[in-house]
Each structure stands twice: as C-alpha cells, then as structure tokens.
Chain A
Amino acid sequence: MKLLTLTARYNSITILVALVFSGVALFFTMRFLVLDELDEQLQAKVQHLEKSIAKDAQNQDFFSTIQLLENQNFEKDIFKDTLIFDEVQQEYEDYRKITATRLIDGNTFKITTVTSRLEWEEFIVIISFTCFACLIFLQVILFFVNQKLNKKIWNPFFKNLETVQGFSIQNKQMPVLIKSNIKEFDEMNTVLLNMFSKLNRDYTILKEFTENASHEIQTPLAIILVGLDELAQAKNLESHTAERLQVLQRTAKRISKLNTNLLLLAKIEHEHFQLENKVEITSLWAHQVNNMEELFLSKNITIKQKIGTAFSININQDLVEIMMSNLISNAYKYSKKNSIIYVTTHLNAIRISNEGYKPLNVNQIFLRFVKDPENQNANGLGLAIVHEICTLHKWQITYAFKNNQHIFTVAF
C-alpha cells in the first residue's frame, strides 16, 4: 500500500474515533452541566419555598408540594427526572424534580418542586450539534492540510526513492539525492550514497579483475595456439606428431573456452548484466534456433517448431540470448544424426527436446563441470550457465525424460 494512502487511512480512522468520542463526551458533559445547573436552580427554588413557608404564605406554584412530616427523618436532597402531563400540549413533558426535607420553625417539611427540562434539552441539542459540526469542519480542514503537508514532507523521500530505483550500476554515475531538512531523510541519503559508492567500487574492481584475468589468460593461450599452428605447418610431419599437435591445440582451446565461460558465470553471479529492455521471447527463441539451423542440417537433424502466443518480458537481451544459445547448442551436441528436435513455446515457457536413450541425472546436469562422459572435450559449463541465468531471474528450469526425449523447459 502506498505511504500516503496508509497515513490517510489511519488519519481517517483516528479522526472518526476522535469525533465519535468527542461528540459523545461533549453530549454527556453538556448534559451533566445542564443537569447540575437545573439542580442548583431547584435548590434555589426550594430555598425560596422555605422562605414562603416560614412566612406562612400560600403556595402558588402548581408544581410544588409542601408536606408536613410527622417524624423527623432528614433525608438528603433527591433529584429525579419525571414526566408531567401538559394539558395544553396534550403530551408528557420532561421535568426535573427535587424532593427535599427542611426544618422550618421546628417542623419538618417535605418539599418537592420541579423545573422544565425541555428548554434545556433543546439547548443541549443545539449546542452539541453546533460544536459537533465545528469539530467535523475542523477535522476535515485538518485532514486535507495534513495530507498536503504529508505529501510535501515526504516529497524528498519519494523523489529519492525514484532516483534510487532508476540506479543502474553500469551507469557509473552516483545517484543525485535531494536534501531535505528532515534529519532521518538526510541520514538515509548518507547511508544510501555510501552504499552506492561501495557498490560502484566493488563493481569496478570486479570488472577490472575479470577483464584483466581474461586478458592475462587469453594472451598466453594465444601464444601457445599460434605456436602450435606454426609447428603444424611443418612439412613431412610424422603422424604421431601431428596427432599430438592436434591434442595440444584442442586442449589449449578448451582452456580458453573454460576461461571465457567461468568469467561469464562470475559476471552473471555479480549481476553485471543490468541493462534491461522489453524482449519478445517467442520470436527471439525462434530466431536463435534458426541461427543454428545450418548446424543442425549438417547433422541431418530436423527441427520441428511450434510457436504459441507471443509474450515479452523485461530483461537483459544478451543474457537471454546466452541462455537460449546454450540450451540449443546442448541439444545440438547431444543429438544423434538424422534425429528430430522439438522446439516449442507455450504460454510463458520455452521448451526444447532431443532424442536420448536414458534419462540424465537432474540433480547433476546443472552443476558445473558435470559433463557427458562420452564427451571429454566439453567443459561442462553450458547448462550451469543456463541454470545460473534462470536462478538469477527466478525462472523455472526443468528437465524431464519422456518417450526417449530429453526435455528442457524454461518457464518465465
């Protein structure tokens, strides 16, 4: 979920809860205050009545009663809500009633009197409503202001996030991060920049190492191979010398290929292949197969292609091509003459299969340096490279042996 959505959601919930509580609290507070006020009024009325009793004046108030008590039980003042039928309105109205015991001139009187709550009720409702409305209004304003502020505050973070996401180690440029006056963001910036700086350094070191290593190994190999080639030019070579020369050439070539492939594996592992773009897999797969068509023809191998719906993914094209060519070359190397290979795409997967006699050990074939015992000249890295590329991108590579076919499938 997006940050601002989350903060907005929490804001809303908090506001809502606060509003409800405030509203309820406000209502009860007002009610309490009003009742308190009423009760005070009632007590004042009682006092007033006391005076009139003492003067022995007539009780004019319809709503009050005065009773002479036999016993002298003093009770505390009791406040109660009561309903009195109003003749005019023809309905029951809310009143607040006090029942008080007073000692006047040696006699105990029970005095009750009431006062209307209705006006106060309306008053409470209006005040509560007004306050409540103000609250809501305030909260809404605050909410929007908050959102804007939040956006503004988080803006450097969002901008930097975008910048960092676009960072490519091969650009060799340090990302430019926006400063803010928020301490934590600046700290994050420092950490990120340090990290990127280190990444760049490591990448450069590794790149130089791999390329220097490559150069340092390939040049002596070039000398060896050129030397052997010149030796092979000699006239009247004895056959066993010629044979030996061939073996040496083959072996030197093998070292060269091994070196190349090992460096490729290192580069893949260290994510040197960063540049990505949209690649249409189905046509690329067909293209790679067609590239090797000539070779298959020379072994009289028929290619049967079945291309499903086209699909594309965002990936480094070189890597995909390497993976595909290794898969296809594998099928080529281990196919017998005059056989058929099947090349298909289906949904989001590619598949190639070639004829075989018995199943390969799926736990072994993708490991480095494991090769077909009949083919000592292979360096056993072809499938390891395929596997490495697939692992890096979380593609699924599977091997199955069915109907005497070695089937390799890569699901993207």
Chain B
Amino acid sequence: MKLLVVEDEQDLRNEISTFLISQKYQCDTAFNFFEGEDKIALYEYELVILDIGLPDGSGLDLLKMLKTKNQKTLIIILSAKNSMDDKLAGLDLGADDYLTKPFNMAELNARIYALIRRNLHQGEAFLTFGEIQLNPKSHEVHAGKIKLELTNREYQLLEYFMINPKRMLSKQDLTEHLLGEGADLIDNFDFLYVHLKNLRKKLKLAMGIDYIQTIYGLGYKLQIP
C-alpha cells in the first residue's frame, strides 16, 4: 500500500510518515505543490494525505490534479479548524475524508483503514486481536466463541482499539473518536467512561479476561495481558 503525505511542516510530516511506516504502509512525502506534483506524476498512490493549508495556497490545486490523474486515488485532506471554505471546497473537489488539526495519529490510522477497506477491498475482511474477531462490514463481534451484543458506541470503541492494537489511546483521543468536533463541547470523560466500562464488562464476561488495560491516568491500551 503506497501512501503520499503532502505537508509543509517538516516535523509534522516526519511524525506522520514515521507513524505510517510503523503501521506497515509504504510512505512517501512531499513538502509543497511542486514536489507533490512530481511524485504524483511519477508514482501511483493508493491514498494521499494532503494538507490543504499549504502556504502557497496550492493545496486545492494539487487536489484537483490528483483527481484528474487518477480518479481512484483516495484522498484525506488535513485542514486547520475554522477553515470551513477549504474543507467544503476540498470535499466538493473529490476528497474522500478530512481531518482537522490537531489530530491523533490513531484517528488518522482509523480513517485510512476505513477508506481502504471500503474502496479497495483488499486483504482480509476481518480485524482480529487475540480471541476477538470483528467484522467491520457487518459490525459483528465475536469474543472467544461468543457473539457479543454491543451498542453502537461500544462497537465504535472496540473497532478503534482493534485498528490500533497495542497502542495507548488517550481518553481525549477516544472521546474525540466518538464525538468528532462535538468533543469540544464537553470537558470531562464521563461519557467515555460509561461506554468503556460497559464494553470492558462484556469482553471480560465473554473471555474471562479484559484486553483493555488502563494506563495510569493517560488512557487505555488493547493488549493481551
């Protein structure tokens, strides 16, 4: 799976590409319109992560170019919040998803996964971790031999964990995954606790152990203890 990251800020670009490589993607980078243009001309990318707030105002142009070159390239645009116009323009021009900065790597990972699964039909249809099997298409979850009955929110949390296994996901991260920009409107984690607690109970009931571990006060990690 070949990915391209177009982002002008070097540190962020490095962070993203390091992360994606750790997730076993092949990752190229570009820091402005021209480098992006070159790379796109030379290679085929399944998915491009594009910062549309590129300083020379060229993010949208690159987007247009991408769409012209290959309709099937999946595109995730990154934008600063409040850039309503850019966001809408990007989606209008054919971007498949958008993320606002600042964002979590785990969230980016989940978005990439979702796009690839929906559009490229590659690989296995299931997510597995330990004894847990999750079917992203049908939303069916089996833990051990038992089919789990999960609420929407519980499912969303579990799926998020399973796309990012063995990674500490902070409470903030998890809440934002569930609520998106609505997470701005709350300032505690009661909402998260309720659903997480129920999820963990159900998992423990089905498998005898709880894969979701609390990491100090920071967050939670899906791992086999």
Chain A contact residues, CB within 8 Å of chain B: 210-211, 214-215, 217-227, 229-230, 232-233, 237, 239, 242-243, 245-246, 249-250, 252-253, 256-257, 260, 263-264, 267, 291-292, 294-295, 297-299, 325-326, 328-329, 332-333, 337, 375, 377-378
Contacts and interface: CB of A to CB of B under 8 A. Distances in A.
Given A215-B83, A267-B82, A229 B185 contact: no
Contacts of A325: 182, 185
Contacts, number: 121
B40 to A, nearest CB: 22
Given A232-B219, A243-B217, A378-B187, A219 B82 contact: no
Interface of B: 9, 11-12, 15-16, 53, 79-83, 85-86, 100-105, 153, 167-168, 170, 172-173, 182, 184-188, 190-191, 193-195, 215-219
Given A211-B80, A292-B185, A298-B191, 15 more contacts: A214-B82, A218-B81, A220-B9, A223-B9, A225-B102, A226-B105, A227-B15, A233-B167, A243-B217, A257-B184, A291-B182, A292-B182, A325-B182, A332-B185, A333-B187
A229 B167 CA distance: 10
B101 A219 contact: yes
Given A211-B86, A226-B15, A298-B194, A329 B103 contact: no
B188 to A, nearest CB: 8
Q: Which of B15, B101, B170 has the most A CB atoms < 10 Å from its CB?
A: B101
A36 B53 CA distance: 96
B90 to A, nearest CB: 13
Contact of B186 (A217, A225, A333): A333
Contacts of B191: 294-295, 298-299
A299 B186 CA distance: 12
Given A225-B102, A226-B105, A229-B105, A243 B186 contact: no
B187 A375 contact: yes
Given A211-B86, A214-B80, A375-B187, A219 B12 contact: yes
A253 B215 CA distance: 20
A221 B168 contact: no
B12 A299 contact: no
Given A232-B219, A291-B182, A378-B187, A218 B80 contact: yes
Given A333-B186, A378-B187, A242 B102 contact: no
Given A221-B102, A243-B217, A332 B186 contact: yes
B28 to A, nearest CB: 19
Contacts of B85: 211
Contacts of B11: 223
B216 A219 contact: no
A324 to B, nearest CB: 11
Nearest to A257: B184
Given A214-B81, A232-B170, A260-B82, A221 B185 contact: no
Contacts of B82: 210-211, 214, 260, 263-264, 267
Given A218-B102, A223-B15, A232-B170, A242 B187 contact: no
27 contacts: A210-B82, A211-B53, A214-B80, A215-B53, A215-B83, A222-B12, A222-B101, A227-B15, A229-B170, A230-B15, A230-B105, A232-B168, A232-B215, A232-B219, A233-B167, A242-B216, A243-B217, A245-B218, A246-B170, A246-B217, A249-B172, A252-B102, A260-B81, A260-B82, A292-B182, A333-B186, A375-B187
A295 B187 CA distance: 11
Nearest to A379: B187
A288 B67 CA distance: 36
B89 to A, nearest CB: 12
B187 A222 contact: no
A286 B101 CA distance: 30
Contacts of B217: 242-243, 246
B102 A226 contact: yes
B168 A233 contact: yes
A250 B219 CA distance: 13
B218 A295 contact: no
B174 to A, nearest CB: 12
Nearest to A233: B168
A264 B172 CA distance: 22
Contacts of A263: 82
A329 B184 CA distance: 9
A16 B167 CA distance: 92
B75 to A, nearest CB: 19
Contacts of A246: 170, 217-218
A227 to B, nearest CB: 7
A256 B101 CA distance: 9
Given A215-B53, A260-B82, A329-B186, A229 B216 contact: no
B148 to A, nearest CB: 20
